[in-house]
Chain A
Amino acid sequence: MKIGVLMKQVPDTETKIRIKDDASGIVVDGIKWVMNPYDEYAVEEALRIKEKKAGSTVTIISMGPKRSVETIRTGLAMGADSGILIDDPALEGADCYATAKALAKVMEPENFDLILCGKQAIDDDSAQVPQMVAEFLGMPQAMVIDKLVVSDDGKKATCYRRIEGGAKEVLEVDLPAIVAAEKGLNEPRYASLPGIMKAKSKPFKEINLGALGLKAEEVGAKGAKLKVKKYFLPAEKAPGKIIPGEPEDAARALVKMLREEAKVV
């Protein structure tokens, strides 16, 4: 099987985010960049499928600034076979739509049997790119999946997702399709030290818009349907209250507070 994995480089989850003085974005100086955690599940799942199906390949595709190479290489160190980075100054300001368009364009000629990705990137949390990529490529999509079974003949995939009330929804899709990973899909492996050394010599290519046959107006800030006007930090939360006492008394006190102070019941 030929598997593609969409991967985004994001700030480490423990990063202390600071907003630029002009509110146009976050300060990137000193940030530690990592692979989007949901994408780690996607990479891991791709590798597991590859290990089961002889002759499979896994390609990591990312759009982002040059430093994203480092994160692609983490995927290669985990065991993926090759990487592609779409990197062009004109992509500055791209929204989900523009991003999906560029990603779809780069994947078109690859003819993947399966595309895996995370259900959302933990930086913008928009959770829209996978769906849009599916539309651009005209593929079925299965989002927020925590179990995936590819049929022996590689023609179908059964996808499971949790829904409200603890129930599971089971989707069957024809391949090629795009599947977005939810936490719990698997336990991602570490990049082993020998794997890290091998990653250096794996095929990796960088593509700009020209090579993709796209114009800056289509996919950059100008092609974006959405503009971010301003970034700001959420208001600081007031500290929580701990209600002491025996459970019964504490519950009574809680109800009282909900009724009288919070006025929600």
Chain B
Amino acid sequence: MAEKQVKIAKGGSFLLEPTGSYRVFTPDDFTEEQKMFSKTASDFLEKEIIPILEKIEHKQPGLVPSLLKKAGELGLLMIDIPKKYDGLGESKATSMLVSEKMARIGSWAVSAGAHTGIGTLPIVYFGNPEQKKRYLPRLATGEILSCYCLTETGSGSDALSLKTKAVLSPDGKHYILNGGKQFITNAGFADLFIVYAKVDGDKFSAFIVEKAGTEGIQIGAEEKKLGLKGSSTCSITFENVKVPKENLLGEIGKGHKIAFNILNIGRFKLGAGAMGPCKVMLAEAIKYGKVRVQFGKPIIDFGMLRRKVADMAIKIYAGESMAYRIAGMMDAGLKSVDEDDVVKQMEIIEEYAIEDSIIKVYGTEVINYVADESLQMFGGYGFTEEYPIERPYRDCRVDRIFEGTNEINRLLIPGTILRRASKGQLPLFEFIARINSELEEKSKSRISKTSGPLAWAVRACELSKRVALYASNLAVQKYALAIQDEQEVMETMANMIIDTYAMDSACARTLQLIEDRGKTKTRVQMDIANVLCQESYDRINLLARNIITAVAGDEAKKHFKNLEKLGTKGRIDSIKIKKEIAAHFVEADGYNLSAS
């Protein structure tokens, strides 16, 4: 199954193409080898991390670095490093799957992720051959540990406004760095720093800074955080730090390319990784619900708690379908280019910037939702440290803040789509013209024609795309470029697009399952897709109405009429179907729909 060809679709094209019209990669398609990687990661967490979690969370000195080295010996840190530099050169899907397992313990995942992701990838993608040879083999094994220094006190979301300055020394051999960084993960023990600074105060650039033998690097005290207590987060000051000229990463003035592309990868890994702990929390909540008796029965038998179980599972199914679809497209693209052609590789990764922001927002909001609802199922015990949700509840809160806050990512979603459409890279306006002409024809038959398995959900999904784009287009017509400043409208557009990608990905995966193993073995997935599509469709309609009301003035009525033409036929009984969905996961003691 895994060998079936995945299409390299254009980023953002899910809005325009018919649902399920091409093969996507899904969590049902993992190879035997990927499952083995995944098992090694879970075993490592189970045996090496969880038994000493107390000590990790109290930041016992030296503990996390030694665990990272242990993980490095097993190859858990080398997945994204090319074979040529002693890595595994494995796919993004593998990398994502392992992230999901590592994410079970938030502070561990962030420490490992800062090293393997933002701390290593800048060298993988932007280093020159000498830099790669010098650092990658040691980063692969964890012999040296890395961190990523972008944020400053004065520049968080607005990263480009950073103040750290680099000036070439009079003898031309070094750059002299001065400035301060804030909230740097792994700062407490890192050997290597990827530092962003402006050459001569205006040319945004990146540098590789080695700690050993370098003077002028001062690490601040550990932050006292709400969660991720086991991870190191400190400020750093650079005072006349001499960095050899050879350690400039990429080109002068092009550092923003590095920063943003690396963030793109970080975003999808964070969003995808979030599904790992969601699955653990859901399983814990179900198991607790079976043994906790109130009013004479196990609380899991109460309808409201079953509804929670169903909603959590639906969101996890959608989240992982969205995440692995991105990984699959990237992998298919990356496979088609030369291992050394980094420029092409970056183009492929950048292609999915829209989807990266979507999964970042969706995944991190799902984990916060699941943490909240599973804690609720534990009642008062959920609020205490002795029960298993309190820690992940705190740990996941920051997910909505780092790797680009969810506000910034929401702005990026419609922003990037509009930019690409106006450059002619995405036939958005052509599709909107088609929607309008479809609406002008009296009959609604053309829009509503869908048949085959899952027809209702697929149709809801097709209609949602049209409703979302129809309303968004009115806003774009009204504000033109100034729409960037209408944040409430941008946010609404983003929410409609996120919902659309969720529906489209869940439907695509479910259709593939039906094709591969038939309807009887895909019942719960079909139930999930149906409920998800109805609820998303309803939400999108509401949001579309809000936009129309805000932008259309006297014309609003006409547009509401058009929305009616884009209405679904009939409704599904979501209360009943959620009972069935819940029954499945309660019986299974947790989420069991991914192949690993």
Alpha-carbon distance between A78 and B35 when the two chains are bound, in angstroms: 15
Does residue B44 face the partner (Cβ distance < 8 Å to A)? yes
Does residue B149 face the partner (Cβ distance < 8 Å to A)? no
Query: Which A residues are in CB contact (< 8 Å) with B35?
Result: 70
Does residue B508 face the partner (Cβ distance < 8 Å to A)? no
Query: Which A residues are in CB contact (< 8 Å) with B589?
Result: 16
Query: Which A residues are in CB contact (< 8 Å) with B43?
Result: 190
Q: Contact: B36 with A190, CB < 8 Å?
A: no
Q: Contact: B44 with A196, CB < 8 Å?
A: no
Does residue A191 face the partner (Cβ distance < 8 Å to B)? yes
Does residue A213 face the partner (Cβ distance < 8 Å to B)? no
Query: Which B residues are in CB contact (< 8 Å) with A200?
Result: 33
Query: Which B residues are in CB contact (< 8 Å) with A240?
Result: none
Alpha-carbon distance between A74 and B43 when the two chains are bound, in angstroms: 13
Q: Contact: B36 with A77, CB < 8 Å?
A: yes
Q: Contact: B32 with A193, CB < 8 Å?
A: no
Q: Contact: B592 with A193, CB < 8 Å?
A: no
Does residue A244 face the partner (Cβ distance < 8 Å to B)? no
27 A-B pairs in the complex with CB atoms less than 8 angstroms apart = A16-B588, A16-B589, A30-B592, A70-B32, A70-B35, A70-B36, A73-B36, A74-B36, A190-B40, A190-B43, A190-B44, A191-B39, A192-B40, A193-B37, A193-B74, A193-B76, A193-B78, A194-B75, A195-B75, A196-B33, A196-B37, A196-B40, A196-B75, A197-B33, A197-B88, A199-B36, A200-B33
Query: Which A residues are in CB contact (< 8 Å) with B88?
Result: 193-194, 197
CB distance from A47 to the nearest CB of B (A): 15
Does residue B582 face the partner (Cβ distance < 8 Å to A)? no
Considering the complex, give the chain A residue whose CB is closest to the CB of B41.
A193
Does residue B187 face the partner (Cβ distance < 8 Å to A)? no
Alpha-carbon distance between A73 and B33 when the two chains are bound, in angstroms: 9
Q: Contact: A192 with B33, CB < 8 Å?
A: no
Does residue B215 face the partner (Cβ distance < 8 Å to A)? no
Does residue B73 face the partner (Cβ distance < 8 Å to A)? yes
Query: Which A residues are in CB contact (< 8 Å) with B592?
Result: 30
Alpha-carbon distance between A197 and B44 when the two chains are bound, in angstroms: 18
Does residue B79 face the partner (Cβ distance < 8 Å to A)? yes
Q: Contact: B74 with A192, CB < 8 Å?
A: yes
Query: Which B residues are in CB contact (< 8 Å) with A196?
Result: 33, 36-37, 40, 75
Chain A, interface SS category: helix
Query: Which B residues are in CB contact (< 8 Å) with A70?
Result: 32, 35-36
CB distance from B249 to the nearest CB of A (A): 27
Alpha-carbon distance between A201 and B74 when the two chains are bound, in angstroms: 19
Considering the complex, give the chain A residue whose CB is closest to the CB of B521.
A29
19 further contact pairs, Cβ within 8 A, besides A70-B36, A193-B37, A199-B36: A16-B589, A30-B592, A73-B36, A74-B36, A77-B36, A190-B40, A191-B36, A191-B40, A192-B40, A192-B74, A192-B75, A193-B74, A193-B75, A193-B76, A194-B78, A195-B75, A196-B36, A196-B75, A197-B88
Alpha-carbon distance between A48 and B40 when the two chains are bound, in angstroms: 20
Residue interface bits B72-90, CB-to-A below 8 A is 1, else 0: 0111101100000000101
Alpha-carbon distance between A190 and B592 when the two chains are bound, in angstroms: 24
Interface residues of A in 58-88 (CB under 8 A from B): 70, 73-74, 77
Alpha-carbon distance between A195 and B78 when the two chains are bound, in angstroms: 13
CB distance from B44 to the nearest CB of A (A): 6
CB distance from B96 to the nearest CB of A (A): 15
- Most chain B beta carbons < 10 A, residue from A192, A193, A194, A199: A193
Alpha-carbon distance between A223 and B76 when the two chains are bound, in angstroms: 47
Alpha-carbon distance between A185 and B580 when the two chains are bound, in angstroms: 47
CB distance from B82 to the nearest CB of A (A): 14
Query: Which A residues are in CB contact (< 8 Å) with B32?
Result: 70, 73
Alpha-carbon distance between A199 and B32 when the two chains are bound, in angstroms: 11
Alpha-carbon distance between A200 and B588 when the two chains are bound, in angstroms: 32
Q: Contact: A192 with B73, CB < 8 Å?
A: yes
CB distance from B80 to the nearest CB of A (A): 12
Query: Which B residues are in CB contact (< 8 Å) with A194?
Result: 75, 78, 88
Query: Which A residues are in CB contact (< 8 Å) with B76?
Result: 193
Query: Which A residues are in CB contact (< 8 Å) with B588?
Result: 16, 30
Query: Which B residues are in CB contact (< 8 Å) with A30?
Result: 588, 592
Alpha-carbon distance between A32 and B567 when the two chains are bound, in angstroms: 43
The 8 A-B residue pairs whose C-beta atoms are closest, nearest first, are A193-B75, A192-B74, A196-B36, A192-B75, A194-B75, A190-B40, A191-B40, A70-B32
Query: Which B residues are in CB contact (< 8 Å) with A195?
Result: 75
Query: Which B residues are in CB contact (< 8 Å) with A191?
Result: 36, 39-40
Considering the complex, give the chain A residue whose CB is closest to the CB of B76.
A193
CB distance from A181 to the nearest CB of B (A): 19
Residue interface bits B23-42, CB-to-A below 8 A is 1, else 0: 00000000011011101100
Alpha-carbon distance between A217 and B74 when the two chains are bound, in angstroms: 46
CB distance from B38 to the nearest CB of A (A): 10
Query: Which B residues are in CB contact (< 8 Å) with A16?
Result: 588-589
CB distance from B406 to the nearest CB of A (A): 32
CB distance from B365 to the nearest CB of A (A): 30
Alpha-carbon distance between A16 and B590 when the two chains are bound, in angstroms: 12
Query: Which B residues are in CB contact (< 8 Å) with A74?
Result: 36, 39
CB distance from A98 to the nearest CB of B (A): 28
Interface residues of B in 37-83 (CB under 8 A from A): 37, 39-40, 43-44, 73-76, 78-79
Alpha-carbon distance between A185 and B588 when the two chains are bound, in angstroms: 34
Alpha-carbon distance between A195 and B592 when the two chains are bound, in angstroms: 27
CB distance from A85 to the nearest CB of B (A): 14
Interface residues of B in 507-537 (CB under 8 A from A): none
Alpha-carbon distance between A16 and B588 when the two chains are bound, in angstroms: 8
Considering the complex, give the chain B residue whose CB is closest to the CB of A189.
B74
Alpha-carbon distance between A173 and B481 when the two chains are bound, in angstroms: 85
Residue interface bits A168-210, CB-to-B below 8 A is 1, else 0: 0000000000000000000000111111110110000000000
CB distance from B139 to the nearest CB of A (A): 15
Query: Which A residues are in CB contact (< 8 Å) with B40?
Result: 190-193, 196
Residue interface bits B84-105, CB-to-A below 8 A is 1, else 0: 0000101000000000000000
CB distance from A13 to the nearest CB of B (A): 12
CB distance from A70 to the nearest CB of B (A): 5
Known: A16-B589, A73-B36, A74-B36. A193 touches B79 (CB 8 A): yes
Alpha-carbon distance between A195 and B73 when the two chains are bound, in angstroms: 11
CB distance from A201 to the nearest CB of B (A): 12
Alpha-carbon distance between A190 and B88 when the two chains are bound, in angstroms: 17
Considering the complex, give the chain B residue whose CB is closest to the CB of A29.
B521
Alpha-carbon distance between A193 and B35 when the two chains are bound, in angstroms: 11
Query: Which B residues are in CB contact (< 8 Å) with A199?
Result: 36
Considering the complex, give the chain B residue whose CB is closest to the CB of A16.
B589
CB distance from A132 to the nearest CB of B (A): 31
CB distance from B303 to the nearest CB of A (A): 24
Alpha-carbon distance between A137 and B138 when the two chains are bound, in angstroms: 49
CB distance from B357 to the nearest CB of A (A): 29
Alpha-carbon distance between A198 and B75 when the two chains are bound, in angstroms: 12
Alpha-carbon distance between A74 and B78 when the two chains are bound, in angstroms: 20
CB distance from A154 to the nearest CB of B (A): 29
Interface residues of A in 27-49 (CB under 8 A from B): 30
Alpha-carbon distance between A191 and B588 when the two chains are bound, in angstroms: 28
- Most chain A beta carbons < 10 A, residue from B73, B75, B78, B90: B75
Query: Which A residues are in CB contact (< 8 Å) with B33?
Result: 196-197, 200
